[in-house]
Amino acid sequence: MNAAIANPLQRPRATLSLDLDNLWCYQRSFGLETWRSYPSFLEIAVPRILDFLDRLNLKVTFFVIGRDASDPANLGLLSEIVVRGHEVGNHSFDHELALHLQSREEIEDEIRRAADAIETVTGQRPRGFRGPAFGLSQDLLEVLAGLGYDYDASTCPNSLGLLARLWHRSKASKIGSDEKVVGGLYGSLKDTGQSLRPYLWSLKDGALMEVPVTTLPILRLPFHGTYLNYLADFSPALARGYFMTALRLCKLRAVPPSFLLHASDFLGGDDSVPLTYLPGMKRSAEEKNQFMAETLQAYSRMFEVTPIGTFADELKQQQALPSFLPALGA
């Protein structure tokens, strides 16, 4: 068992990260041609999220997309993330959902270009990576290890991956797209059995730490921010009860939760952002932000919450993690 988790003198650890998927990423993943002009909501979302995190005194890992970092219009917005004390991670250059199915050379180019753009804007070189839509391959892991990354955070052992793909397909067809849904989007059944605790991928030229996005222990049901918003559309009390159950189960099973947010979790139907097909977009921004504040206050009451990089540093110093050979689903 992990010493950082088991030491009774320390509060149990948890991490918080936010994928900065932009408006064009959603349009692209749902097959809407409007994505090609790269419409953005970052100017609404980033200042709001940074103020929100300051109020809650939380530091997180922002997984930034290289394409947005390379747009001069985003310079001030993205540099502010590091100025306010957060970590920046690499979320690929183009948020291509099938990145993990590309050749090793293409993957390396995508990751390098994103890191260069993010470093240029923020002054911080990412040392963690999260693939678009939880995609992972052996080539991707080896590229990350070869580039000296400290951790990957792309796995999400989620038993509802197939249902989520069906949901995505039905939403896409309702908004007029015939886009194929990428295999493995939202996680594959094969990945469901992967560990929820951090571990090492054993690779040809070394090892790479994996910090999985946490799903409910045993049942492997998702509990990231967008899923909680989906439940909160039915009942905020139900969503809160589900989240608290998930956290208690994590504590019982000595799983340090890695809770995942998206920028869209902080946007509401009154923000004039055309995202009505996403969960939670019928509620107002204020309602959603209040819900997220209560959720994250509960999270930081139960756990010592840090960015993923800080937690990865602690794990490296404190103990040997179990290691696994990659056997990845597609």
Which range in 15-23, 140-148, 235-243, 248-256 contacts Zn ion by CB under 5 A? 15-23
CB of 37 to Zn ion, least distance (A): 19
The H helix count followed by the E strand count for the chain is 12, 10
Check if the beta carbon of residue 261 is closer than 8 Å to that of residue 224.
Answer: yes
Residue nearest to Zn ion (CB): 21
CB of 145 to Zn ion, least distance (A): 22
Which residues, numbered 124-153, are part of the site for Zn ion (CB under 5 A)?
A: 132
How many residues bind Zn ion (CB under 5 A)? The answer is: 3
**Beta strands 61-64 and 87-90, pairing class:** parallel
Under rule CB under 5 A, residue 19 binds Zn ion: yes
**Which position among 21, 68, 87, 271 is part of the footprint of Zn ion (CB under 5 A)?**
21
Place of tokens 């309702």: 174
Which range in 20-28, 34-42, 284-292, 314-322 contacts Zn ion by CB under 5 A? 20-28
Which range in 17-25, 71-79, 214-222, 232-240 contacts Zn ion by CB under 5 A? 17-25
What's 88-126 look like in SS3? EEECCCCCCCCHHHCCHHHHHHHHHHHHHHHHHHHCCCC
The interface mask with Zn ion, positions 81-120, x = CB under 5 A, is ----------------------------------------
DSSP code of residue 284: -
CB proximity list for 170: less than 8 A, separation 6 or greater: none
Choose between 90 and 122: whose C-beta lies nearer to Zn ion.
Answer: 90
Strand locations in 162-308, DSSP E?
199-203, 206-210, 258-262, 304-306
- Positions in the binding site for Zn ion (CB under 5 A): 19, 21, 132
